[in-house]
Amino acid sequence: MKSIQIFSAAFIGLFFLSAQLTAQVDMVWETHRVGFKVPRGTVIDTNNDDEFSAGNDNVYMTIAPIQDENISTDDLVDVVDAMVNEMDYDLITDGSAVKVNNFNGYYVRGSKDGSNAVVMALLDPSSATNLIVVVIYSGDFEKAALTTVNSFYSY
C-alpha cells in the first residue's frame, strides 16, 4: 500500500512539473500593441520599433511590423510566399488563411535542415499595423509553436 502512495505522489509531482515546463505565459510587444503567448522560459532578444524576437532552446519567434493600411488579405499570401521562397524550405507541409482573434492572416508551415517553422502574416482590420511572424521550433515542440501563433491579439 505504501508503494502505491509513493508511486501516486511521484506521478502527480511529475504531472505538475511537466505542466509547468510546457505552460505558456503572456507576453506583449508594447510598441505595436500586440500580445501573444509564449512557452515559459522565453527570453526577449530584441524589442524595438522594427523587430520583436524572443525564444528559448526549443521555440524562437521573430515579429516584424508592416505599417500599411492598404494591405489586403490577398497581399498576405504574396508576403508569406515570398518569405518562404527566400528561406528556401525543403518541405512545405501546409498553408491556409486563418483568423487569429482579431487578426486575419495567412500561414505556411515547413521545414529546413531539421528545423520546423511557421511563417505567418497577420492583418489587423482596425489599424494600419500588420505583422510578419516567424516561429522556428524543434520537432517535439510543435504544440507550443502552434499555441504561440494562434494566440496573437491586438489591444
With respect to residue 69, please indicate whether it lies within any of the assigned structural domains: yes
Between the two ends of the chain, the Cα-to-Cα distance in Å is: 54
With respect to residue 139, please indicate whether it lies within any of the assigned structural domains: yes
- Is the separation of the CB atoms in 80 and 120 below 8 Å? yes
CATH number, domain at 87? 3.40.1000.10
For residue 76, report the phi and psi dihedrals to the nearest 5 degrees.
-60, -40
**Whole-prediction pTM value?**
0.81
Q: For 35-80, write each residue's pLDDT tens digit.
A: 999 999 999 999 999 999 999 999 999 999 988 878 888 888 898 9
- Enumerate residue ranges in the chain where pLDDT < 70: 1-22
Predicted confidence at residue 113, as pLDDT, reads 85
Predicted confidence at residue 8, as pLDDT, reads 45
With respect to residue 39, please indicate whether it lies within any of the assigned structural domains: yes
With respect to residue 111, please indicate whether it lies within any of the assigned structural domains: yes
| Domain enclosing residue 146, as ranges | 24-154
Which residues make Cβ contacts (< 8 Å) with residue 97, sequence separation at least 6? 73, 77, 104, 105, 106
